[in-house]
Amino acid sequence: MSIFEYNGSALIAMVGKNCFAIASDRRLGVQLQTIATDFQRIYKVHDRLFLGLSGLATDAQTLYQRLVFRHKLYQLREERDMKPETFANLVSAILYEKRFGPYFCQPVIAGLGDEDKPFICTMDSIGAKELAKDFVVAGTASESLYGACESMFKEGMVCYFIYFPMLKLEHIQIHIIT
């Protein structure tokens, strides 16, 4: 078993017409044993930007703390929030910086950029970005989520149709930004 699968996770981000949705499970486990059902995997960076972290729970929390620190420094210096593309570059640089002793995390970044253009991407543990125009998935359930996303996704969906399929899932954390 991979260290990425030790705590288990499932993350999904999907794009609609001038909106996006990001969702995750809330189960924290150690292999097949459930430890908690209220574990947070999606973090709000600012009003228009969210970060989801799948993988080893301790590394995810550490990486999130470093990213919050760097975002606050950016806010102090620039007097504005980061754009999603800029934040993705920051996450990629921090992960690549630790490539020889990586964080065992797969980040999913979702946000609204200029003119309410949705942005989603995911990365591997050393910061290689995978940009997408439709949906991204991460975690131990990624194979199953790909099939579900491919069957549900339609170009230019409105936010309600992104949200509706996710309502059927239990014990999840959902954020939709329009």
Nearest alpha carbon to residue 74 among 38, 110, 49 = 49
In whole angstroms, give the CA distance from residue 117 to residue 126.
27
**What pLDDT is recorded for position 148?**
82
pLDDT at 138 over 80: yes
pLDDT at 178 over 70: no
The lowest-confidence range among 19-23, 44-48, 160-164 is 160-164
**What pLDDT is recorded for position 141?**
83
Question: Which pair of tokens denotes residue 115?
Answer: 């003119």
The mean predicted confidence, pLDDT, of the chain is 88
Sheet holding 135-139, edge to edge: 135-139, 10-16, 19-25, 172-177
Pick the CATH number of 3-177 from 2.60.40.1180, 3.40.50.300, 3.60.20.10, 3.40.50.2020: 3.60.20.10
List pLDDT tens digits, range 24-72.
888 898 988 999 989 999 999 999 999 999 999 999 999 999 999 999 9
The pTM of the full predicted model, rounded to 2 decimals, is: 0.90
Backbone angles phi, psi at 6, to 5 degrees: -60, -45
**What pLDDT is recorded for position 163?**
59
pLDDT at 146 over 90: no
pLDDT at 145 over 80: yes
CA-only gyration radius of the chain, Å:
15
